[in-house]
């Protein structure tokens, strides 16, 4: 088989696992919840999700990271009194290129979002 066909086939296979990164997912927190409570709920949700760790915290944002074998995914939660949103902000070995990333990364982000948003929904 010619070398260019092997390369083309390899590129095709690597692209099959990639999906488009969606716009940041977001929820509206309960009315009247303080920024401190939101940050705590986000951190609790991250802490309850297997493998995820809090990398940095600053007013209005919490950054979480996941190392899985040779892969790395970073998700940032930005929050205000009216909105909490998550987006993928970095990755390694997940074929991230432009607005595409390996489909496994999207699943990891969705599981983390579920945990974080569950914690936020329980705030009063």
Residue-level pLDDT at 13:
44
Residue-level pLDDT at 34:
95
What is d(CA 121, CA 4) in angstroms, rounded to the nearest whole number? 53
For residues 108 and 100, the model is more confident at 108
Asked if 42 and 28 touch (Cβ cutoff 8 Å), the reply is no
User: Domain residues of the chain, as ranges?
Assistant: 3-121
pLDDT tens-digit profile of 28-85?
999 999 999 999 999 999 999 999 999 999 999 999 999 999 999 999 999 999 999 9
pLDDT tens-digit profile of 5-42?
454 444 444 445 777 777 778 999 999 999 999 999 99
- Region 3-121: CATH code: 3.30.310.80
């Amino acid at each position: 088989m010619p070398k260019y066909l092997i390369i083309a086939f390899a590129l095709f296979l690597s692209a099959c696992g990639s999906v488009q990164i969606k716009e940041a997912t977001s929820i509206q927190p309960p009315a009247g919840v303080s920024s401190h409570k939101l940050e705590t709920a986000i951190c609790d949700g991250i802490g309850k999700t297997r493998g995820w760790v809090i990398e940095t915290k600053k007013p209005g944002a919490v950054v979480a990271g996941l190392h899985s074998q040779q892969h790395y995914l970073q998700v940032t939660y930005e929050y205000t009194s009216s909105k909490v949103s998550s987006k993928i902000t970095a990755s390694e070995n997940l074929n991230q290129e432009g607005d595409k990333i390996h489909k496994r990364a999207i699943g990891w982000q969705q599981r983390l979002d579920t945990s974080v948003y569950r914690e936020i929904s329980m705030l009063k």
